[in-house]
Structure 1
């Protein structure tokens, strides 16, 4: 989710000179999307404001985000990300960014990313307290602040955010908490959460996926594509809370919508309903640890029934470490005719492909999977999930081996992937799987 930052903007940028010529007509978000496509970002070769260049030897230096472990993400060694960190380190944050004071936070992470960290102070003021904080502590979400100095010290610094800072979130935050973070940790030793795991892809990155058959997973299509190629190979792992530890399997096959189109999906909202992928693993884990059912909720309950239904969602969010976090009792908020729905479940990066389930007694059924977001000029982003109706017709043929990467549905290929999605590098220590680093 949240990795779909309008990749087709690259078509408008031919050179750094072209960027300079277009800058006056581009919004901060447009510039942010462009910067994400650049290996070396223009105008960021030295520290601004006349400060000494310092040591920018880290791989992630000059990416606008502070990665020093004392003040930032921890992706860099101490003092190797000077240009991105010096304002925070010296306590001299300011409004020196070109897009400061435009009413939109342009910091990395919680904002658009168009500004260097610490240069959009006024616009990001109500978000700064959340910067570089996570809920990755083992006892996060328990209502007790356990960070050092401000709590009992059982958690590491900056890892018990909700308990120490609170769950209220400013609506300006570029994340998905709807003003309040309602997530909790899920027990992955019991159903349905033991069936919800994470795929770490050989090409880089990770997404959430769910066992819906003996050897079948459901996730998001954008997770299994890279640079126009279908690359589903990776390791699926689930059941972290089982007595003997997690169980794993290899992803060996995939099938995506025959209508998947990289350009249209990246640049429009027209085919969001194609963002699903069925994966096959090499072990029948669903037979041993359990699997959940599948259902087209709108087809079976109608639109009103679907909007009233309580949803159970769980995913491996970037900010909760190795824990499965999720929502108990969120809802669909709008149903679209393209096979998608909007929801009010608190999801974020890393939750792509995660399931939205309904419960009947002790049984759970996947009714949608997490996808992306749509811009909303009149308010917060609209967060989108693909309803199960979009892929239910393919499930039996895929489970029986009649469909797959080498056996596309007659009448259309499995479809290429999204351009411009370069593989994520292996995350350095301290960087959550699925984060932009």
Structure 2
């Protein structure tokens, strides 16, 4: 994540720009110094040629000195430079006149006037100053650093916004992203803050609406059950009570679905027998007292580790669909290693299995009066996802197989060593 950080990219870009500016300034100043040094050397040689021409025309030392003073030259009194003059070849002993030449010492250019007994060094009083170049370089560096600081300060709210978005994604709606920053990032943060407030308001109104509906439904159900208790006919009494129990169970299921979709449901896994699970789902389906049991359970002692209520809700919907759409109204519950397999006789699903997970999905090819609202597979998918389980589908030899993977921690159809290995792997 650090490698893809926008702050790292901007910092690297700034370092590259700073190094490039340094390199450009260094070579530019060096070029200017070398160029001006060459120009100065040419200029001094022209002066020297003029002085020698004056000497040739019988000009004396005073005439030459006056000429140099008019050009802005003055005698150099630097002792180090005078000492360096000793390294230059002196005039021949028989030469009694005046001679001028251009010399270069310590990267400085001078005009040397020599006689047999005297040497005078002249330096131009006009000095070339490179402070302007250095000032421009320092100004450029300052501007680069200033722009870098401005950009980083402008991007700093992104860190806070990222943390707030992460909190919001984890279900915390009490986040504050509003800022006084007026650029694009500030507008983004303010718009996200407005979106959070709207989503929170919608969530609260939705929760209030669902809870109000469920509360209003509980009142007539309670009254109906009390009335059913007063009926003397035992058969009708039991049927009515079972119906009201079923309605109460449906309301509780809706409450769990509401919590599940709003990510407010706490999942607590525990181990339980497959037989207990099927017994509970039979009560949910109101088939626990009928003579012909449509659910055929092959491995009742298998142990499942899941959230009992949520897992029972998923299994109940799977069993309900399997019974409803099976020609023989039978459903088979088997286990295969870690997996729980629910199967029934019937035609293959005509659409992609994932299409059935959409809420309010209805297969128009099925003409069942009790087809429902199309929430069965949606509930199955979400309840299993909340527990970390996956479901797959396969049709083979006229049978539909719905497999919930990795939910069994101990399978009693295995030999003892296999059971131990399966349980250890499932625990991991």
Q: Which has the larger radius of gyration?
A: 2
Q: Return the structure number with greater relative CO, CA threshold 8 A, min gap 6.
A: 1
Question: Same fold by TM-score, threshold 0.5 exceeded?
Answer: no
TM-score band, normalised by the shorter chain? Answer: under 0.3
Query: Normalization by structure 2: what TM-score?
Result: 0.21
Compare the two structures and name the one with the higher helix fraction.
Answer: 2
